[in-house]
Structure 1
Amino acid sequence: MGKFFGTDGVRGVFGEELTTELAYQLGRYGAYILSEGSHNPKIVIGKDTRISGDPLEKALTDGIISVGGKVVLAGVIPTPAVAVIAREIKADAGIVISASHNPYQFNGIKFFNGAGYKLSDDVENQIEKCIIDQLTINDRTDGSVETLEQPEKIYVEHITKGFACDFSGIRMVLDCANGASYRIAPKFFREAGADVVVIGHEPDGKNINDGYGSTCLDKLSDHVLSEKADIGIAFDGDADRCLAVDNEGRIIDGDKILHLVGAKLKQEGRLKKDTVVVTVMSNIGLDIALKDCGCKSVKTNVGDRYVLEEMLKEGYNLGGEQSGHVILLDHNTTGDGLLTAVSLLTILKEETRTSAELSSLMTSYPQVLVNAKVTNQTKNDYLTDEIIQKRITEVEKHFDGQGRVLIRPSGTEPLVRVMIEGKDQSELNRIATDLAKLIEERLA
């Protein structure tokens, strides 16, 4: 992780870690690097509904046109739409202004290249080095700004290429998190024939993700039950992730979505290498359910960035995270909430079973996560501490074949995370707590 760029672009509290001055520099040097200083780069900018989106958009735009860039403003639109639009209009890059599922005080700036993929570490490092070194580059006066007409049309037409999108007969509740999907998603599903009840669709600049969206599903569950809906769909602030609630009000998480979509693609002969890429945090129940339908799973580190890297390297076409980042690489190059929802509703439309019956096809094992509080200097020392390693080995043997043990340091906090899955919740709580306590005693 560099000085500015993290695993998902540049992110921080607006006015503190993320300032308009930094946004200007990111626009200026980003445009310069992406054009290799040799032409007028065309860059699409989209944003979510945060109050800080406008000043950051203005600063980015000023930075890009200062080096002769051509800015195409897409306005408030989901993150995955920017990746699609960048490809369709043959732009050099796309930029999203969003902090995803975080509160409104945060914002972020994320780049896609012209093919719709997140920038490589190398390119991000080049941009970052230019900012740190304050590289001298000449100002240009031939930059320009235009507003893209009907950007949502480009995105929707791309999605509907691969799906029938006839959802007549389905009653759904849609939670837009007061975020980037609040206009496009209700209109899309209504035009596809669904009977749609919408919540979380009145953004005011400060209520994004506040009690609504994929990180807070209580309201969605309540509405599904009270409205007697067939399913509930929730996006996060920038709509690159999607979670669901079944007709009995229970959560359908990313693991269950990956199982349903993976099984469907396998049945149709379209799941490449019969494999789904998941992270180490996926539930062991997903592995078992995929195996039962003739599929395999491959695990990566936590983060959709690592899932995508593995998919591209090995030629897989489905991957994702428990949090609802689902990548359908035959259709888009990044996690796409609307696309995920379309895939899920297509399955529901074609099935005679309810969403609750479909969700129950995968059994989620109880999962306990306990944080051991250590220091940043010692959080990797559990790997070499003989007493800790001996206890971890004992726990792994105890759960062998009936659960799973995962110990990993936090990437951002002074913590070692102890995660255990198994059948007995009380046993999991006791063993995970004892192991976390041992790690604290040895490493704190």
Structure 2
Amino acid sequence: MQITVVGTGYVGLVSGACFADFGHRVICVDLDEQKIAALKAGYTPIFEPGLEQLVASNVAAERLSFSTDLAASVADADVVFIAVGTPSRPGDGHADLSRVYEASTSIAKAVRGFTVVVNKSTVPVGTGDEIERIIRSTSPAADVVVVSNPEFLREGAAINDFKLPDRIVIGLDDERARAPMIEIYRPFHLNQGPLMFTGRRTAELIKYASNAFLAMKITFINEIADLCDRTGANVQEVARGMGLDNRIGTKFLHAGPGYGGSCFPKDTLALAKTGQDHGSPLRLVETTIQVNEQRKHAMGEKIVQAMGGDVQGKTVAVLGLTFKPNTDDVRDAPSIAIIQLLKQAGARIRAFDPQGMTAARTIISDIEYAKDAYDAATSADCLVLVTEWSTFRTLDLKRIKSAMTTAKLVDLRNVFRRSEAEALGFSYHAVGMPGPSAG
């Protein structure tokens, strides 16, 4: 099939490359001329394991191409995917749908013949109805069916998630779209893959509800971790004991500094606003948002207390800036809030991240960026692990300690073993993992 993907951000580029790898002919369109020029030159503007190779192989096979000409790219397409950003709208927290609606207008002007327009952007319930209205009012004669096909990609594992999905949700209100959507996802359908057809509004809500539930799960175990700190219980063992129940499961039960990234913060906020707008407030989601924001600041306070309650003039080494490993995404990352709190308290910050420092510099410029973890630890009064990159899991703690001025280690991901850290002389502080004297 001939597929056009509007938007070459995270979702658009990953989806386009994977569709091309299925054998479809795909054009990825973006108005950003520099980004398209970079993609044509073989440069992938986002870090995602395996993506650069996937893009290169499909470009070489002439199944994947890039363009800034939306009209020409849409005209011959069988299916057009909208994959543009929907960030939180400044001021009120609603999803900013301006790019979705702009894309819809442009698509309406360019379509020729029967076309399926698929929204892959994360949007509130009813957005598909508005996309359809925009297309009808812009081009009344356009023969278009609007479908919702939300993405469920985890940054750092997106290609695997796309090719081995738990489910593929397809929301349609016009049966003419069923056959084209089955053809697009044919590799899964032939293998009795998890295609779920439902109504368009239901599909839109499935995406938000899924992210909100996972965000609540993270926030729940973080609050349990706080209780473990007070009672002497072990949050890792609590989580394991919970997760062995198949109704609960082990995923997203890892205590830490709170969730961040491009999805959970904005999607929980947008869902809460949708509930308020429809007179059906989602109190659990609203509380999750509040607790998660408080969590990031509480982790900053935890570091201050680990350093004796005063960080004025002291150097804190921060390892990990991205909201999770295997990405370069620092949007709403806990590290940003933690660093800002420490700076306000008078600390000097020296930070390192394997992939996130370029993006972090656009947000926080007045800190020192180190060349590696050992450089970050040099002359530091405290080392803080914020993101659990695999390279940090195998650090030579003996070498780290010898580089530091004061051997304090705050492990916000519970990566290290207390016994090993303390044997080397560290004052070790974890999350929900009290020391021998706790309780």
TM-score tier (shorter): under 0.3
Which of the two has greater helix per residue? 2
Which of the two has greater strand per residue? 1
Normalising to structure 1: TM-score of the pair?
A: 0.27
Normalising to structure 2: TM-score of the pair?
A: 0.27
